[in-house]
Amino acid sequence: MSTAAVADTAMAPARPGGRRLLLLAVPVLLAGTGAGLWFSGVLPSLLGLGRHGEAHGADAGSAAAAKVATFLDLPEMVANLNSAPNRRPSFVKLRARIELSSPEDAAPAQAGMPRLLDLFQTYLREMRPDELRGSAGSWRLREELIARANIAIAPARVTNVLFTEMLIQ
């Protein structure tokens, strides 16, 4: 090989793929670091935001003070579960409390209590014992009872159903 050929290879630029890799790696690294700081809570606190992106300050405090949870206890319910395949009777005993969206909703909720209990009892009688097993079963039951409660006490709004006792026999 001649000295001119050796000089040409020595002066050749580095691989062009290295520059492209650098241009792709830097934004990915910055995005990953930003996401890590955001989800760890460091970046929201630096920006003056709350845990879920809401601003800190007088507005957030007054909104929390204005929103007072109103709870209404439901009477104890005992229902025979649908146990058609094995014909062995199963029962559920349920004590619950409903959370209303505002204190003004307590009067319509009390007025609609017979309709609410009827809808709850009817739904519980159609459930099978295996549908109530585990946390997923409790979650599905809660979601269905919220939907039925909102139908039963229509002008009022139920935001949550809290189980204080649930026994399945």
pLDDT tens sequence across 28-78: 888 888 888 888 877 777 777 765 555 555 455 555 545 677 898 999 999
**117-135: pLDDT as tens digits:** 999 999 988 888 888 888 8
**96-122: pLDDT as tens digits:** 999 998 888 888 888 889 999 999 999
Q: Are 94 and 60 in contact (CB under 8 A)?
A: no
Predicted TM-score (pTM) above 0.85:
no
Cα gap 99→68, rounded to integer Å: 10
Sequential DSSP letters for 98-115: EEESSGGGHHHHHHTHHH
Q: Between these two residues, 12 and 18, which has the higher pLDDT value? A: 18
Helix, strand, coil content of the chain in percent (nearest 5): 55, 20, 25
Q: Between these two residues, 20 and 62, which has the higher pLDDT value? A: 20
pLDDT of residue 97: 92
pLDDT band at residue 5, thresholds of 50, 70 and 90? Answer: low
Tokens at residue 29, please?
A: 């690294």
pLDDT of residue 95: 93
Q: Tell me the three state secondary structure of residue 11.
A: coil
pLDDT band at residue 152, thresholds of 50, 70 and 90? Answer: confident
Say whether domain 68-168 belongs to CATH 3.30.479.30: yes
pLDDT band at residue 84, thresholds of 50, 70 and 90? Answer: confident
Which residue has tokens 């809290």? 162
pLDDT of residue 93: 92
Between the alpha carbon of residue 61 and those of residues 16, 24, 44, 58, the distances in Å are 55, 43, 17, 5
pLDDT of residue 2: 56
CA angle, residues 93, 166, 146, in degrees to nearest 5: 100
